[in-house]
């Protein structure tokens, strides 16, 4: 139980910011990315968010890396 509490404390200290619910426009871009680049909706959502916020996205998934480079 102490280990779990420590993990929760560590997570609470991270500067995690969540994106609000996506607008219809954002969902459309995610859907198009997923279809055009043959990605899951989840992977496409990470790419859309990184591109929209102009942030780097790191992945070991070759499809995601390739889609980010386009």
65/69 Cα distance (integer angstroms): 6
pLDDT at 70: 79
pLDDT at 21: 87
pLDDT at 20: 87
Residue labelled with tokens 């995601």: 64
Rounded to the nearest 10 degrees, how much is the dihedral formed by the CA atoms of 50, 56, 62, 66? 70
pLDDT band for position 60 (cuts 50, 70, 90):
very high
CB 26 within 8 A of CB 45: no
* pLDDT, tens digit, 9 for 90 and up, residues 14-52: 988 888 889 999 999 999 999 999 999 999 999 999 999
pLDDT at 24: 96
């Amino acid at each position: 139980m102490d280990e779990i509490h420590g993990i929760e404390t560590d997570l609470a200290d991270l500067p995690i910011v969540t994106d609000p619910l996506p607008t219809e426009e954002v969902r459309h871009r995610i859907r198009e990315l997923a279809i055009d680049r043959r990605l899951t909706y989840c992977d496409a959502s990470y790419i859309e968010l990184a591109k929209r916020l102009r942030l780097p996205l790191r992945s070991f998934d070759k499809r995601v890396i390739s889609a980010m480079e386009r």
